[in-house]
Chain A
């Protein structure tokens, strides 16, 4: 690839920190599925609006407290808010925005899941919706490290329809600025995960890949926390990956559940950031991995890459976990926490 310099990380010989976490977007506890469908209803117009009433808010508060406790009990190294209100999955931050009209139900990537098409009809100014959720989570997480989760700007723009900016480039930049503004209002957080499945599923073409990285850079610059950009459902095209490394981010995520060869290729050819996020547990299958097997997969990745040590390695599911039944989701969290502990022990 011309003009793109590999960025091999020649990490110092400090010990790697293994951090068990998730990309967020959890399934609701089963009682909350029942209660909230009774309170909200099943139709398109019943989905979360951003100005929910007292009862619905109370149900979400209780569910949030529960999933935070579940993460703490599992022993995860980062606690996520859970994004339980995100009826529209990664499109949520726009779906609840005042300048956005939610229209038809559309398919969520290649899944049997659907979200409301967010049609942007005005300036994407500050919302604060996600910051409010994080404030609530911060109060519950105690001494544990809080992790914020957002869609990356490229994916969020890809999931939306623009009727206002009128130009793809301008729209992508506007979504990036909007997300940066949201991040700016976040309470203290240790890590920010930006989920970017569209970078794989609808890969940016020449030129757009660079602008996608610039938009990601804009969001990442709004926080002092470590920023992990997590693409999934495959590996990034090499040019997209190379451009992503130019953004001021701390880690790129690799979905090793879906694709091993191309992810390894990217790491071998272009190197990596000082931190690494490994999607090693399947967020879309009820088969619960062994912690040892996940630890072995970490070793396997090390065997493939020219870099022997990373500052931090995040161990996560490859995708969001809302696809799973609640009990299986809980089991996956426990396995990730255990796998990170095993990896630390082995490294020591």
Chain B
């Protein structure tokens, strides 16, 4: 069985017959000097100007793209070096949004939750420059993560639309417009991030409807993934199999795969990008441990449908830990591929484990 959509990202000189595509969710720790550069840039008394800061962002983007290459990832991202936060970044680029100051998330962690004060409109592209820069900086395929319309709507104050569903669909049309531009620029791998779905799983229908808007007129060969994290997956599965996407990127390592059985019945008909390292644990998992985690994915899908990635964005980890997790993850994936080639892996698929009691 082959998987054309996934195999377009297979490196020419790939060492094994089997191919478990390795990639990341998106964010990566920013180098400390980039944060320092940002402070200097924001300091009106300092001569560090717009050009200087742009240069620093370019350098950071190249550096982290290269760090992903060194880790051996098949599909790379620049670690979202130019983005501050997953809603704010886009809200600043969408007409109709306004910022009124920080609001609490928990403790003393705040975010500039924006308000939609008028009809949302697409003006300039959001990510084409970022994509073109990374594609230029790397020989490897590049994935573009985009915050999904449901999350953009849900994590904003809605002053302008009758309800959040209406706002979600309006934003979905803008995301569609942006993806068209990215595809024109050469992008072939898009990941829609919808973390808000985990907080309100009953809303999966509107997320599905938004995805229909998002993929309208996007060519078949463009790979569309959906990233969801921290949730009760039984409340969205199997409904999400109807979504018009190629891949689901799911956080499962953090819960030690306690929700894995959810995806065994009915059959998982899409590609599974399985979280195989926990981004909330500050230690680098061993290659052997990650190999075991990858094999969990084989209980759900055959190797052709399996993609290997961390649970979530790794930006909150120390940089060396983030790198260690990437490198071990790639090594583990290659080991599992070799073992599959050699017929050494025998995983029973699709059989939910018997209940403990």
Contacts and interface: CB of A to CB of B under 8 A. Distances in A.
Whether chains A and B associate is: yes
Interface string B128-160: 000000000000000000000000001101110
A328 B100 CA distance: 8
Interface of A: 27-28, 30, 33, 36-37, 40-44, 46-47, 87, 105, 107-108, 110-115, 284-287, 322-328
Given A285-B158, A287-B157, A326-B101, A115 B106 contact: yes
B157 A286 contact: yes
Contacts of B104: 27-28, 33, 113, 322-323
B108 interface: yes
Interface in B80-101: 100-101
Given A285-B159, A286-B159, A87 B115 contact: no
B108 A41 contact: yes
B213 to A, nearest CB: 23
A113 B102 contact: no
A286 B102 CA distance: 12
B103 A27 contact: yes
A30 B102 contact: yes
B342 interface: no
A327 B100 contact: yes
Given A28-B104, A323-B103, 12 more contacts: A27-B103, A37-B108, A37-B110, A40-B108, A42-B107, A87-B107, A108-B106, A112-B196, A113-B104, A113-B105, A324-B103, A328-B100
Interface residues of B, number: 21
Nearest to B158: A285
B8 interface: no
| B107, B109, B113: residue with the most chain A Cβ atoms closer than 10 Å | B107
A325 B157 CA distance: 10
B199 A110 contact: yes
B35 interface: no
A121 to B, nearest CB: 22
A33 B101 CA distance: 11
Contacts of B199: 107, 110-112
Contacts of A40: 107-108
Would you list the 7 A-B pairs with minimal beta carbon distance, nearest first? A325-B101, A37-B108, A114-B106, A287-B159, A325-B100, A286-B157, A286-B115
B200 interface: yes
Given A286-B159, A325-B100, A327-B100, A33 B106 contact: no
Interface SS of chain A: helix, strand, loop or mixed?
loop
A233 to B, nearest CB: 13
Contacts of B106: 87, 105, 108, 113-115
Contacts of B103: 27, 322-325
B108 A33 contact: yes
Contact of A33 (B102, B158, B200): B102
A42 B109 contact: yes
Contacts of B101: 30, 325-328
| A27, A43, A286, A322: residue with the most chain B Cβ atoms closer than 10 Å | A286
Nearest to B159: A287
A325 B196 CA distance: 20
| B104, B115, B154, B158: residue with the most chain A Cβ atoms closer than 10 Å | B104
Contacts of A287: 115, 157, 159
Contact of A286 (B100, B105, B107, B110): B100
A42 B108 contact: yes
Given A110-B200, A286-B157, A46 B108 contact: yes
| B110, B155, B196: residue with the most chain A Cβ atoms closer than 10 Å | B110
B107 A47 contact: yes
Interface in B193-211: 196, 199-200
B152 to A, nearest CB: 13
A108 to B, nearest CB: 8
Contacts of A113: 104-106
Given A30-B101, A286-B159, A325 B113 contact: yes
Contacts of B158: 285
A239 B265 CA distance: 39
A112 B102 contact: no
Nearest to B157: A286
A288 B109 CA distance: 25
Contacts of A105: 106
Contacts of B200: 110
A37 B103 CA distance: 13
Nearest to B200: A110
A233 B106 CA distance: 20
A112 B155 contact: yes
A306 B145 CA distance: 55
B110 A33 contact: yes
Nearest to B151: A112
B157 A285 contact: yes
| B109, B155, B157, B199: residue with the most chain A Cβ atoms closer than 10 Å | B157
A105 B196 CA distance: 17
A115 B109 CA distance: 12
B107 to A, nearest CB: 5
B238 to A, nearest CB: 23
| A28, A36, A285, A325: residue with the most chain B Cβ atoms closer than 10 Å | A325
Contacts of A286: 100, 115, 157, 159
Contacts of B100: 286, 325, 327-328
Contacts of A115: 106
Contact of B107 (A30, A46, A110, A285): A46
Contacts of A37: 108-110
Given A286-B159, A325-B100, A112 B105 contact: yes
B217 to A, nearest CB: 32
A52 B200 CA distance: 36
A232 B181 CA distance: 44
Contacts of A46: 107-108
A256 B296 CA distance: 48
Contacts of B110: 33, 37
A326 B107 CA distance: 16
Interface string B225-268: 00000000000000000000000000000000000000000000
